[in-house]
Amino acid sequence: MPAEERKSDNEFLDRGKTRTGIPEVSMNILAIPTTVGLSKPLSGGQNRFCNLVKCQAAHNRVIVLEPDHLHDESDDDVAKVYTYHDIEALQRRLSIFRDINLDFIRKAARIIRDEEIDLIQITHPSGAMAARTLGFLTRRKIKIVYDAHNVESDFIQQTFANHDHYSPMERKLIPAYTNLLERVSCRYLFDHITAVSDNDAATFRRKYHLKDGMISVIPSGCSIRSRISDGARNKIREGMGLRPTDIAVFFHGLYGHPPNREGFDLIQTYIAPRFADTNPDVLFVIGGTQVPTFEEANVRSLGFITDIQNICGADIAIVPLRSGGGTKLKVFDYMSAGLPIVTTKKGIEGIDAENYEHAIIVDDVDEDFIAGIRYLIENKEERKRIGDNARALAEVKYDWRIIRGKLENLYQTLVPESSARHSDST
């Protein structure tokens, strides 16, 4: 049975019912990702998309339109899912050309018509022109919100332009096209933009001369994990091959993402060697999607990490990033686990953390970065204090439940008539 027919309307409306059987649906939202699926997150962007959909599904009816090659059966447990086929040419999926993708347009038109969509949440400028046109043709006053995981035009320039998987022509044309697409969409097609940080919001305002009230900051976040017992932690450490005396310094990420790849390389070539002779009990543990499994000197790679709970077996987390956009969701994983973090300013960008209170924050991966790691290695009490402070900050400011409230308030402001309309229809 096709993914788009697997769940009935009633099954999803039932999720919002109270004990009296009265639906609490506020609005119908169409959520459209680009290069990520809905469940089983493999990257920070996918993590954010998945969690925002889950958050909104608590009080709204959420429909997802995603590329068919990214669909997983478990997606249907999160939301009602439709799929479309990406345009393909020269062994490439041309996901950013959705505005001329007839299958995408046909599926989006069907959803807008049949599901009575009030608001479209889209994670990339691609598809905004098609969505705006479909809203006009169906005579629905649909609001389109750009859920910007980063400033896409800057991000693509930093990462794609130097990606050797693509030809020199692609490395020039795709960033140029993305820049034009984002500029046109932000100026003329989007009703609102949600940025993940004040810094990204300021960049959007500066680049595109946005009018007042056009952009809001909706940060990324985390699900606060329960504290584990010493016995459970010891079992995790045993599974990681750690001795009781080892101090594990942890980093993870998507290996194919250039900023992460540089971080992995820095650990192997610069950071870990600085501790090989002076701190024999310190082991740098890395892992993540597409990360090769290996062990050399004082670096151990776990490869793909099936359970992120494994980070609770570490003693220190590091974020040796020099580039990349948006906020890094791995940092929220570390904060939720109560790990003390040594990071660059770029690594913790968009997160309201204070130096030596919630993390040790330095300018670059340099002597100060090394000194920060040494400080935490040598001061166990400081590891606990900074880690506890980081967890407390996550609980107060970055719990997905708190972020859900901010997003719901924003959407009710954008579509104030939706609640009454859907209440009348039920």
Indicate the residue type of 151. V
Same domain for 45 and 144, yes or no, is yes
Same domain for 204 and 234, yes or no, is no
Can you tell me the distance from the alpha carbon of 392 to that of 249, in angstroms, rounded to the nearest whole number? Answer: 21
pLDDT in tens, 83-98: 999 998 877 888 889 9
> What average pLDDT score do residues 164-177 get?
78
pLDDT in tens, 12-33: 334 334 333 434 557 999 999 8
pLDDT of 418: 60
> What average pLDDT score do residues 145-165 get?
79
Residue 339 scores a pLDDT above 60: yes
What does the block give as tokens for 4?
Answer: 């788009």
pLDDT of 12: 32
* Residue of 171 and 148 predicted with greater confidence: 148
Residue 126 Cα to chain centre, angstroms:
18
Same domain for 116 and 183, yes or no, is yes
> What average pLDDT score do residues 231-240 get?
91
Stated as kind and residue range, the H or E segment containing 365 is none
CB 342 within 8 A of CB 319: yes
Same domain for 65 and 214, yes or no, is yes
pTM: 0.83
* Residue of 139 and 220 predicted with greater confidence: 220
pLDDT in tens, 362-401: 999 999 999 999 999 999 999 999 999 999 999 999 999 8
Same domain for 408 and 325, yes or no, is no
> What average pLDDT score do residues 344-352 get?
93
pLDDT of 15: 39
What does the block give as tokens for 155?
Answer: 């991000």
* Residue of 296 and 256 predicted with greater confidence: 296
Q: Give percent of the chain above pLDDT 90.
A: 59
CATH code of the domain containing 362 = 3.40.50.2000
Same domain for 189 and 209, yes or no, is yes
Q: Measured in Å, how far apart are the chain's first and last C-alpha atoms?
A: 28
Residue 189 scores a pLDDT above 90: yes
CB 328 within 8 A of CB 47: no
Same domain for 215 and 235, yes or no, is no
Same domain for 17 and 153, yes or no, is yes
Same domain for 393 and 414, yes or no, is no
Same domain for 392 and 408, yes or no, is no
- Structural domains in the chain (count): 2
* Residue of 134 and 38 predicted with greater confidence: 134
* Residue of 301 and 47 predicted with greater confidence: 301
Same domain for 309 and 335, yes or no, is yes
Contacts of 378 (CB under 8 A, 6+ apart): none
Same domain for 351 and 413, yes or no, is no
Per-residue confidence band for 7, with pLDDT thresholds at 50, 70 and 90: very low
> What average pLDDT score do residues 271-292 get?
94
For the chain, give me the number of helices (H) and strands (E)?
14, 16
Torsions phi, psi of 274, nearest 5?
-70, -15
What does the block give as tokens for 397?
Answer: 């400011």
Supply the range of the domain harboring residue 158: 3-221+400-425
* Residue of 234 and 162 predicted with greater confidence: 234
> What average pLDDT score do residues 240-256 get?
92
Neighbours of 103 (CB within 10 A): 15
